[in-house]
Amino acid sequence: MSETVVLTTELDEAVSTTNDAAISNMEKKDPEPVLKHPLNSTWTLFYFINDKSGKLNYEECLAVVASFNTVEDFWALFNHIKNASKLKIGFAYLLFKNGILPYWDGSGNAGGGRWTLKTSWHQRFTHLDNYWLELIMMMVGEDEEECVNNNITGAIITRRMKQDLVSLWCAPTKKFEVTLKESDEAMHGHPIEHYHRIQNAFEQD
């Protein structure tokens, strides 16, 4: 089986979680104009495939799932993909502002930083999905009252065997200390126990 087929198959598995009955009900509804609530930015969700063969590079393991720029489209997407807690070991979801690729040295990220939470495996099915959802809701909402500002470029959740990783990425800024405080508050404002915070600049990785 070719690498392209494997990538396509894994992506289909991740996004094909919609209940058939729900689809049927949606199709039966009469089409009506829907008032959508725009977000400040357009966001793109990527899916990372863990290639155990080692034949694919990082870029080749990434697949674009979808982009959205309204509240309604956000929910339409995240209600129809596999929960992060059910991803395979080494697989990941990556959500970034449109035009910013999930590369540490890419445009928008180079010279910036990230905050990473390591959550233990026993929290995977009790806290992880809610924490990831609440974090990205704050991120795409870009609500100053929720400690999120324009310096945040994206977030990544990666499944690991013993610890799952949730990272919040930020752009380079002269107000790094302010961004650190806001991001730190955003990352710590959730009921996740026994995790460690790691703050590091990309150029130091």
Which CATH number belongs to the domain containing residue 111 in this structure?
Answer: 3.30.760.10
Range of the domain at 129: 3-204
Name residues of the chain where pLDDT drops below 50. Answer: 1-2, 5-6, 17-28, 146-147, 176-180, 190-205
Q: Are strands 163-170 and 92-97 parallel, antiparallel or unpaired?
A: unpaired
Contact at 8 Å (CB) between 173 and 151?
Answer: yes
Q: Cβ neighbours of residue 94 under 8 Å, at least 6 residues apart?
A: 45, 46, 47, 48, 62, 102, 154, 155, 156
DSSP 3-state of 66: strand
pLDDT of residue 157: 95
Which H/E stretch holds residue 84? none
The count of structural domains within the chain is 1
- The pLDDT assigned to 170 comes to 85
Confidence (pLDDT) at 123: 78
Question: In whole angstroms, what is the distance from residue 184 CA to residue 181 CA?
Answer: 5
Q: Would you state the pLDDT for residue 178?
A: 46
